[in-house]
């Protein structure tokens, strides 16, 4: 783990725990330049000069597609994977 964005990681963890962000592993995303929409993690607008990652798969459950800066998307994915690793830690120790 390389915590380059500790505060964002904390927000991501809190929002995942609170159910505001889904804990999913999603390989299907849209990428494009931002349109001024707010990022689902840091709540800052994604400017037209920045790349926006959109996660359409969770649109049904969350009501709207999630949108992230590249860095925020990476942090969210990291926190999702981190939670999975914690849950499977005991199993892995038994297997090895």
What are the residues binding Zn ion (CB under 5 A)?
39, 41-42, 69, 72
Residue 39 Cβ vs Zn ion, minimum distance, rounded to whole Å? 3
Closest approach, Cβ 42 to Zn ion, in A, equals 3
Q: Which helix (H) or strand (E) is 39 found in, with range?
A: none
We find the least distance from the C-beta atom of residue 62 to Zn ion, in angstroms, to be 16
Find the helix or strand (DSSP H, E) in which 55 lies: strand 51-55
Best CA proximity match to 78, nearest among 20, 25, 27: 25
Give the CB-nearest residue to Zn ion: 39
């Amino acid at each position: 783990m390389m915590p380059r964005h500790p505060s964002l990681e904390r927000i991501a963890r809190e929002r995942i725990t609170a159910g505001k962000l889904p804990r999913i592993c999603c390989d299907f995303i849209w990428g494009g330049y931002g349109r001024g929409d707010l990022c689902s993690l840091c709540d800052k607008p994604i400017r037209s000069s920045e790349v926006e990652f959109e996660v359409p798969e969770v649109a049904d459950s969350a009501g709207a597609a999630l949108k992230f800066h590249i860095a925020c998307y990476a942090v969210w994915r990291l926190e999702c994977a981190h939670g999975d690793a914690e849950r499977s830690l005991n199993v892995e120790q038994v297997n090895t």
